[in-house]
Amino acid sequence: MNVHSKIAIADDECIVIGSANLNNRSMVLDTECCIALVAAGEPRIRTAIAGLRDRLLAEHLDTTPAEVAAALAHDERPNTVLDWLRDKPGRTLRTLEPVVTPQLDALVPVSARLDPEQPIEPDRFVREFVPREQHRVLTARFFVLGAAVLLVAALALAWRFSPLGKELNIPTFIDAAADTPPVSHLWDYANMGYDLCAFSGGKAMRGPQCAGLLIGKKELVANALLNNSPHEDTLGRVAKVGKEEIMGMIKALELYLKEDHEALNKEWQRRLEYARDSLSCRLRR
């Protein structure tokens, strides 16, 4: 784990809280708002800075500020003091020595781009990173655009009406959130060949709005479950559904499947006609 520091303490003389980055961008260009306290030789302020440093180190080393202060008084080199204080089990600090492979280092742009000494002119930046526009005649552009549209349409038709997707082993997904009624859509799309179908739990099913249904191949549904607890470092947090909503969704689905859908459609039609007739009367007036 690489920790991005937001505090810097230098020799009990200066403390900076904020973007404590020692680079050109933060020092010259657009540094964030920082709070700094400088002792300027004042013993009282030096003591306050040292006390904050000792409390922070004590918290992370699972010890007391007094022990940290005593160790620093015995040896002024911080690394030596940390080596001595962390030589015990429990919460502690460890030396971080990150290793960057030459292949990964080669992918990182030079510091002139990531850490410039002064702002880069927008025109210069665009010239270096955006290729010059190659002018083509208008007819050629329309021809290329039309060919691209025809190619996409041909691929879509082949995907829909041929086993191309199956041959390439690429699953197909349909967002059918509002596609009920009719109730038959719950299985129609799977019968049409879609590998995974998503339906909203609300709307016509009248279940919890934050719940829904995934219908399709077992392995794809299992992959969706990987976003659930205990895998907390995925997209599962933003799509979290509680146990109460899950049980409510199950009950809503049971009731929806048992409903007399023909009678329900007639009732909705009656309500629509009533609304239509009421509005028509008001408009005539």
Concatenated DSSP letters of 149-161: HHHHHHHHHHHHH
Alpha-carbon torsion angle 51, 53, 58, 61, nearest 10 = -170
Helix (H) or strand (E) segment spanning residue 56: helix 43-61
**pTM of the predicted protein model:** 0.40
Residues 6+ apart with CB under 8 A from 36: 14, 15, 16, 17
Total residue length of the chain = 285
The pLDDT assigned to 231 comes to: 65
**Cis ω before 230 (30° cut-off from 0):** yes
Confidence band of 147 (pLDDT split at 50, 70, 90): confident
CA distance 36 to 99: 32
The pLDDT assigned to 32 comes to: 59
The pLDDT assigned to 1 comes to: 38
Q: Is the pLDDT of residue 46 over 50?
A: yes
CA distance 171 to 221: 12
Compute the average pLDDT of residues 222-238: 67
Residue 19 near residue 29, CB atoms below 8 Å: no
Task: Mean pLDDT check: name the lowest of 28-37, 40-49, 200-209.
Answer: 28-37
The residue written with tokens 């006390």 in the block is 51
The arrangement of strands across the sheet holding 173-175 comes to 173-175, 196-200, 212-216
Backbone φ and ψ of 3, nearest 5°: -100, 125
The pLDDT assigned to 140 comes to: 73
Decide which of 170 and 206 is more confident: 206
Find, among 192, 209, 191, 190, the residue nearest to 200 by Cα. 209
Residue 174 near residue 194, CB atoms below 8 Å: yes
Decide which of 145 and 233 is more confident: 145
As given in the structure block, the two tokens for residue 263 are 């009678």
Cα 239 to Cα 174, 186, 242: the distances in Å are 18, 22, 10
A 10 A CB-CB count for 207 gives 23
Task: Mean pLDDT check: name the lowest of 20-24, 51-55, 206-210, 270-274.
Answer: 20-24
Compute the average pLDDT of residues 128-142: 61
Residue 211 near residue 241, CB atoms below 8 Å: yes
R_g over Cα of the chain:
33
Compute the average pLDDT of residues 87-104: 74
